[in-house]
Amino acid sequence: MASLSAQDEQAVRNELAKLTGPVKLTVFASELGPETNGQTVALVKEVAALSDKLSVEILNPFIDKERAAAYGVEVTPAVVVEGAEDYGIRFLGLPGGYEFANLIDSILVASSATPRLSEATQTALAGLQSDVTIKVFTTPT
């Protein structure tokens, strides 16, 4: 069953046409986990089919423990978004609803390796003295 309507699929295809480089989506999911594991795998595969610059790797965190640990993945489903390098972009849980737009946005950012931040924000971030982990929590709607 398709997650995206024909209209949404075309809109996503139009956004993905802006990709400047390849992006790899690594999904950690297990059939032993919640229902959202399968939904996440299906959604990511559906998105990846809309651009030849996207690739997908599906991993089971119970089997691929070393890879999960290397990415810092401790829960499923999890989606790692990587461009030329790993920029630390992770989605924990199904990236659906309002989070779907953020998934597409993160794919575009990873593709170009250029954050979409104002100069003022980039200047403020450059002044940080240590690494910062940002976590955004959402609830299903």
Q: What is the CATH number of the domain that holds 94?
A: 3.40.30.10
User: Structural domain of residue 24, as residue ranges?
Assistant: 6-126
Task: For residue 3, name the pLDDT band (cuts at 50, 70, 90).
Answer: confident
Q: What is the mean pLDDT of residues 100-118?
A: 90
Q: Are 9 and 15 in contact (CB under 8 A)?
A: no
In a domain, 74, yes or no: yes
Q: Max Cα separation, the chain?
A: 47
Q: What is the mean pLDDT of residues 55-81?
A: 96
Domain count, the chain: 1
For residue 121, give every residue at least 6 positions away whose Cβ sits within 8 Å of its Cβ, in sequence order, or none.
none
In this prediction, residue 33 carries a pLDDT of 78
In a domain, 23, yes or no: yes
Q: Give the range among 9-23, 25-39, 107-121, 124-138 with minimum mean pLDDT.
A: 124-138
